Structure 1
Amino acid sequence: MSEIRHNVDKELVLASGRAHPELAAEVAKELGIELLPLNAYDFANGEIYVRSDESVRGKDVFLLQSYPAPLNNWLMEQLIMIDSMKRASARRITVVAPFYPYARQDKKGRGREPISARLVADLFKTAGADRVITTDLHTAQIQGFFDGPVDHLFGFPLLADYIKSKVDVSEVTVVSPDTGRVRVAEQWADRLGGAPLAFVHKSRDLTVPNQAESKTVVGQVEGRTAILIDDMIDTGGTIAGAVRVLKEAGAKDVIIAATHAVFSDPAAQRLADCGAREVVVTNTLPIPEEKRFENLTVLSIAPMLARAISEVFHDGSVTNLFDGRA
């Protein structure tokens, strides 16, 4: 459990949006504090109202919000939360966004496309946020979009350590679902004792969302346990296709590991039927009961978030949580 050291000059406050109250309650428990009571509701036309039931004047406020569907509702609620705390004279406001919204729109792939991840950062700043804490950004460059400190946490140590306890690492190959995540796969391989790497070659039509075709495996997976890693699973089509390709290439077993379980339909059914031995994710996003299946394992990132919040509050080093890799 993270320990909050009392400081006469400042006070830590943790508040939660309505998207994922279970995670916020876990983080508060790890910190040994109570959540700030908020009065939040929707008007009949969809407008959102947020007001703190207690004073936050001069306090260090951390606002935790997750972004399941409908994502835009929760983003607007987060912005209103920030504005509310700013107008209530909070000393410092930190956005805690375990899953960063619009992270996949981080660059222009074609002409006239928006860079929506940058827009979100601008919205946070304009609303009054001083700092952002987030987990496993789709690309690291998003840290540069926010005009202020961004603490980028990593889910892979939690996931890798769990998998390490379940497999013989001498028989493991770490597999990236595409060439873009090979660097992350290298970090996984180091964590798993120098496991070999492979990646799945795939093609994508930029005009069609949530569709990519897995084609071939580059690397040795025959007779081995393939650890197929990614930052998020949305509809599950890419990952399910990669499992098929790995099995065809002779993989003995496939374990899927991802930080963000977006699980848009029909992801749960695809993952349950794809032939993977286990699917391991974290709780950065809520996973409703109807989207859970027999071989799904959900690990909690609440201890990691609590430690990061404590370090930020005490002006410590978030980097030290990840052996200097943050």
Structure 2
Amino acid sequence: MLSEVNFTNLTYGNRRAMPSTAEPKLISGNANMPLAKAIARRMSMHRGVNVGLVDARVERFNDGEIFVEVFENVRGEDMFILQPTSNPANDNLMELLIIADAMRRSSARRTTAVIPYFGYARQDRRTKARTPISAKLVANMIVGAGIERILTLDLHAAQIQGFFDIPVDNLYASPIFALDIVAQFKDRMSDLMLISPDVGGVARARELAKRVNAPLAIVDKRREKPGEIAEMTVIGDVTGKTCLIVDDICDTAGTLCKAAEVLLENGAAEVHAYISHGVLSGPAVGRITNSVMKSLVITDTIEATPDVSAAPNIRILPTAPLFAQAILNIWHGTSVSSLFDTDTLAPAYEGIL
């Protein structure tokens, strides 16, 4: 007589039934350690137990090669790698891939890459002959390294989610921005106008405009050649308005500062900017400091340099509450899209904004 079979322990294809882990485990590369530690602290508050970063070392040999060693057992664990692929993009990307390989070879149950800022996202299509689609190449590398899910924030192009053959949860900074706008401009909400700095960013600006119940205008820019703006035109009446420029990335800040000047020339009372990812390379900080903008608000998806932290008109909003809750939702198997709602996210930011 055949003995009873416990079907829950069988393996079907690549699906392995394994016991659920007691707590999610976090491991971080070197790209943004302050954010990683902040996420761990927030998760500890939610769980009522200490959720720390897995003890590991991510180092470089003398020739620049990256080496990873994990000092804790991760067999059967639900692992979350915290690593934006910001500057230096190639080094941080390789750290992510090598950590993922270490997790796979250490028999982690599932590995999720939490990539607050997804580098190479601006290379999402071929703009001319004989050019790569680097975002797709990076997606292939990430999947090949053994990562099974992606959690990120404000992808530059929504179609990048389709570059992956694994689930991608793309969070949005707009609920955080909406909470901050209400806190900062509560006495003059009727004077606000949201601004898209180009035609391509209209959907992003419109979405935030709906959240704060404000009208929308567009700065139409035309280039004669890459890197040089020939003309900017404001589409919409901004006279007497407090203008909030909304975009996902600020790199050298040339376009942003020029747009602020054009808005004031067209009658705006003052100009602020809300940008998801503060790349802020080259002359960006100096341009912003000396610009006509009252403030630039960014998130901490990219670790701030000392110059950025010291800039008097740059404010940094935390994303740790958002990512901590998203990680817990993924771990529990509950909805991540619920975090798109401002009211749902508000309790996590109570006392912060």
Return the match for 1:84 from 85, 102, 107: 102
Question: In the TM superposition, what are the counterparts of 1:202-241 in structure 2 within 5 Å?
Answer: 202-204=221-223, 208=226, 211-213=228-230, 215-241=232-258
Report sequence identity in percent.
Answer: 42
Is 2:269 the counterpart of 1:246?
A: no
Task: Specify the SS of the correspondent of 1:255.
Answer: strand
1:31 CA displacement: 0.7
Counterpart of 1:9 in structure 2 is: 20
In the alignment, the residues of structure 2 paired with residue 317 and residue 254 of structure 1 have an alpha-carbon distance, to the nearest angstrom, of 36
- SS class of match (2:86): coil
1:198 aligns with 2:210: no
The 1:42/1:213 distance shift into structure 2, 3 A limit, reads: farther
* 1:261 corresponds to 2:278: yes
Instruction: Give 1:12's aligned amino acid.
Output: P
Contact 1:255 1:278 in 2 (8 A): yes
Matched residues in 1 for 2:224 and 2:117: separation?
25
Cα RMSD after superposing both structures: 1.7
CA offsets per residue over residues 191-226 of structure 1, 9 Å max, x none? 112x111111112366x4x55455111011111000
Q: Which runs of 5+ in 2 are unaligned?
A: 1-17, 45-50, 343-353
CA distance in 2, matches of 1:48, 1:38: 13
**Residue 64 of structure 1: aligned partner:** 82
Letter in 2 for 1:165: A
Distance 1:258 1:97 in 2: 17
1:118-176 CA distance string (max 9 Å, x none)? 11111110000000000000011011111010000001111122122222111011000
Q: Which of 276, 298, 301 is the equivalent residue of 2:316?
A: 298
Residue identity in the other structure for 1:291: V
State the aligned residue count: 316
Alpha-carbon separation, structure 2, partners of 1:90 and 1:211: 49
**Equivalent position SS for 1:132:** strand
Residue pair 1:174, 1:185 contacting (<8 A) in 2 also: yes
Query: Secondary structure of the residue that 2:184 maps to in structure 1?
Result: coil
User: Which residue of 2 is the match for residue 26 of structure 1?
Assistant: 38
CA distance in 2, matches of 1:104, 1:26: 28
Q: Which stretch shifts more, 126-135 or 38-47?
A: 38-47
Instruction: Trace 1:302-313 onto structure 2 (pairs within 5 A).
Output: 302-313=320-331
For 2:165, which of 134, 143, 147 is the aligned residue?
A: 147
**CA offsets 1:204-251 (integer angstroms, 9 cap, x no match):** 366x4x554551110111110001010010000110111111111111
Larger Rg: 2
| TM-score, reference length from structure 1 | 0.94
Letter in 2 for 1:159: F
Task: State the distance in 1 between where 2:207 and 2:142 align.
Answer: 30
- For the Cα contact (< 8 Å) 2:223–2:231, is it kept in 1? no
Aligned letter for 2:191?
Answer: E
CA distance in 2 between counterparts of 1:61 and 1:71 reads 22
8 Å CA contact 1:279, 1:297 repeated in 2: yes
Q: Is the 8 A contact 1:282 1:299 kept in 2?
A: yes
C-alpha contact 1:213 1:238 (8 A) present in aligned 2: no
Please list every run of 5 or more consecutive structure 1 residues that lacks an aligned counterpart in the other structure.
1-6
* Partners of 1:159 and 1:281 within 8 A in 2: no
SS of equivalent residue, structure 1 residue 215: strand
| Corresponding residue of 1:178 | 198
Cα distance in structure 1, aligned partners of 2:206 and 2:58? 43
What secondary structure, in the 3-state scheme, does the structure 2 residue paired with 1:165 have? Answer: helix
Q: CA deviation at 1:320?
A: 1.1
Among candidates 90, 112, 119, match of residue 101 of structure 1 = 119
Q: What amino acid maps onto 2:320 in structure 1? A: A
**The one of 208, 214, 221 aligned to 1:188:** 208
- Structure 1 residue aligned with 2:48: none
Are 2:110 and 2:148, in contact at CA under 8 Å, matched by a contact in 1? yes
Inter-partner Cα distance in structure 2 for 1:82 and 1:8: 21
Tell me how far apart the structure 1 counterparts of residues 184 and 208 of structure 2 sit (CA, whole Å): 15
User: What is the TM-score normalised by the length of structure 2?
Assistant: 0.87
Question: Does 1:272 find its partner at 2:289?
Answer: yes
Q: Note the C-alpha offset of 1:291.
A: 2.6
